[in-house]
């Protein structure tokens, strides 16, 4: 709106013959005025007309300055907004960079490389422990098999010994019975 007013004012001034610059109009006013001793006598109408032109020019310049100041303020606020946006983006980027380089495990922030190293070393230790347990299990299993075989062998020997002892006992009983029978026969005869 203000720009439109200033354009209309400049157009009116140029149409009405005041398209000259203020310096040109001032020089023309001074040259066309009469001289009295060391003084210049200027017609009041011309002086008023020049003053109106100067006032209009000053008003147009003030409007232009105000418009420029408003634009500067607007641009300043836009710059502040853009700086805030840039700061937010920088913060977000820093956060993303931090997130890409770190991982949170049990509430502890770790570098991803450290987490990977810890994970692989933990897995390595678990594999070693598993291998130790497996070899210990195999060893215990072999010992258990050996013990079972020994037990079976001893059990078989014990059974054989029992059988042999039973046979000896039976043989001795038979012999005893035979001797008792002989003794009874000798006593009855």
Residues 6+ apart with CB under 8 A from 104: 110
Q: Please state the rounded mean pLDDT for residues 101-119.
A: 84
How would DSSP label each residue in the chain?
A: -HHHHHHHHHHHHHHTT--S-HHHHHHHHHHHSEEETTEEE--HHHHHHHHHHHHHHHHHHHHHHHHHHHHHHHHHHHHHHHHHHHHHHHHHHHHHHHHHHEEEETTEEEEHHHHHHHHHHHHHHHHHHHHHHHHHHHHHHHHHHHHHHHHHHHHHHHHHHHHHHHHHHHHHHHHHHHHHHHHHHHHH-
pLDDT at 18 (0 to 100) = 46
Stretch 160-175: mean pLDDT: 93
Residue 51 lies in a domain: yes
Kindly report the pTM of this predicted structure. Answer: 0.43
Per the structure, the complete domain to which residue 81 belongs is given by 2-103
Over residues 39-83, the pLDDT tens digits come to 878 788 888 888 888 898 899 999 999 999 999 999 999 999 999
pLDDT of residue 105: 77
User: pLDDT band for position 104 (50/70/90)?
Assistant: confident
C-alpha angle 8-52-13 in degrees, rounded to nearest 5: 30
Range 20-42 burial, b when 16+ CB lie within 10 A, else e: eeeeebeeebeeeeeeeeeeeee
Give pLDDT tens digits for 81-93: 999 999 999 999 9
Q: Of 63-72, 96-105, 107-116, which has the strongest mean pLDDT?
A: 63-72
Q: How many separate domains does the chain show? A: 1
Residue 83 resides in a domain? yes
44 is a domain residue: yes
Residue 71 lies in a domain: yes
């Amino acid at each position: 709106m203000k720009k439109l007013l200033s354009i209309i004012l400049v157009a009116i001034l140029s149409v009405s013959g005041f398209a000259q610059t203020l310096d040109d109009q001032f020089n023309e006013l001074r040259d066309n005025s009469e001289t009295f001793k060391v003084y210049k006598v200027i017609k009041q109408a011309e002086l008023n007309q020049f003053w109106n032109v100067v006032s209009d020019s000053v008003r147009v310049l003030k409007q232009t300055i105000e418009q420029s100041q408003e634009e500067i303020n607007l641009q300043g606020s836009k710059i502040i907004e853009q700086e805030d946006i840039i700061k937010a983006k920088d913060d977000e980027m820093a956060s993303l960079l931090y997130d890409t380089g770190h991982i949170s495990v049990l509430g502890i922030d770790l570098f991803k490389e450290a987490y990977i190293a810890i994970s692989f070393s933990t897995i390595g230790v678990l594999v070693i422990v598993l291998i130790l347990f497996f070899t210990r299990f195999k060893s215990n299993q072999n010992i258990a098999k050996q013990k079972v075989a020994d037990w079976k062998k001893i059990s078989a020997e014990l059974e054989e010994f029992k059988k042999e002892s039973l046979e000896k006992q039976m043989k001795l009983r038979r012999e005893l019975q035979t001797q008792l029978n002989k003794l009874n026969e000798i006593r009855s005869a």
